[in-house]
Amino acid sequence: MNLRHRPIALAVATMCVMSSHTAAAAAAVGTVKGRVRLNGTPPGNPVIRMRVDPMCAKINKGKLVVEEMVMASKDGGLANVFVTLHGAFPRTPIPADTVVIDQHDCLYAPRMVGARVGQTLVVRNSDPLLHNVHSLSSGSNSFNIGQPLAGLENRFQLKGAEILRLKCDVHRWMTAYVGVVDHPYFAVTGNDGTFEITNVPVGTQKLHIWHERYGDLEQSVRVIPGATPPVTFAYTGAEKAP
């Protein structure tokens, strides 16, 4: 090779290498889709005794409000299941956007959310009455703070991975869960029990699910570039509550 052409050749070669790396990176992830089912007859959900707080009773007058512990569709799809990968993954930036849970009509909504360690959880009171936010942490996410007015928000930076339960000490039925993980590979099942996790590193991954009534299940999933074959989890309904 002529020495005068060497820099150009080097640049072209570098570009080719970069290009192939980018292509490899793009190809090195897949999407995991699936569904969580509950076999058998769902147990039903207890009606909330709003009368304990006359204000809550007034807000919900005429409604039969239930504790949404087991929300299953007619064909068995189970909602509010936290789905996440288990394992060690390269660090990725913490999302700047917040995860919001609303105290609305004397309930937490949504009941199950996912969040990253380091991400900010916002809990808002939309009711014109006293609520509090009391986290039952098994790790470093402890807080308990009053929210006596409508419009008040409290912000909590999540510090450790766990399934974090939130309650309101004033209204014992108010419950929400935050699945806190240290990577971006998680989802919460929708009303039909389906979920989707994008940009999952290819290879064999451990996919883990958690439900407040039925607990944990796990299976290995071979993630391939693009769309991985759908994954199905099924609770028998006989599992012990976590």
C-beta of 155: minimal distance to another protein in Å?
4
Peptide bond into 184 cis (omega under 30): no
Could you report how far apart the first and last alpha carbons of the chain are, in Å? 69
CB-based contact 101:113 (threshold 8 Å): yes
Give residue for tokens 């959900």.
45
How are beta strands 231-235 and 29-38 bridged, if at all? Answer: parallel
**Is residue 89 within the footprint of another protein (CB under 8 A)?**
no
* Binding span for another protein by CB under 8 A among 1-9, 81-89, 148-156, 203-211: 148-156
In this structure, the number of other CB atoms found within 10 A of the CB of residue 184 comes to 18
Give whichever of 26 and 64 is closer to another protein, judged by the CB atom. 64
Count of residues binding another protein (CB under 8 A)? 36
**Is residue 7 within the footprint of another protein (CB under 8 A)?**
no
**Is residue 47 within the footprint of another protein (CB under 8 A)?**
yes
C-beta of 151: minimal distance to another protein in Å?
6
Residues in contact with 242: Cβ distance below 8 Å, sequence separation at least 6, in sequence order: 163, 210, 212, 215, 216
Query: Structure tokens of 221?
Result: 């999933």
**Is residue 60 within the footprint of another protein (CB under 8 A)?**
no
CB-based contact 120:159 (threshold 8 Å): no
**Is residue 232 within the footprint of another protein (CB under 8 A)?**
no
In Å, how far are 118, 121, 140, 176, 223 from 98, measured between CA atoms?
10, 6, 19, 16, 29
**Is residue 153 within the footprint of another protein (CB under 8 A)?**
yes
**Is residue 51 within the footprint of another protein (CB under 8 A)?**
yes
**Is residue 172 within the footprint of another protein (CB under 8 A)?**
yes
Q: Kindly tell me which residue out of 21, 155, 206, 222 binds another protein, with binding defined by CB under 8 A.
A: 155
**Is residue 201 within the footprint of another protein (CB under 8 A)?**
no
Interface with another protein (CB under 8 A): 41-47, 49, 51-52, 64, 66, 74, 120, 130, 132, 134-135, 137, 142-146, 148-149, 151-157, 169-170, 172
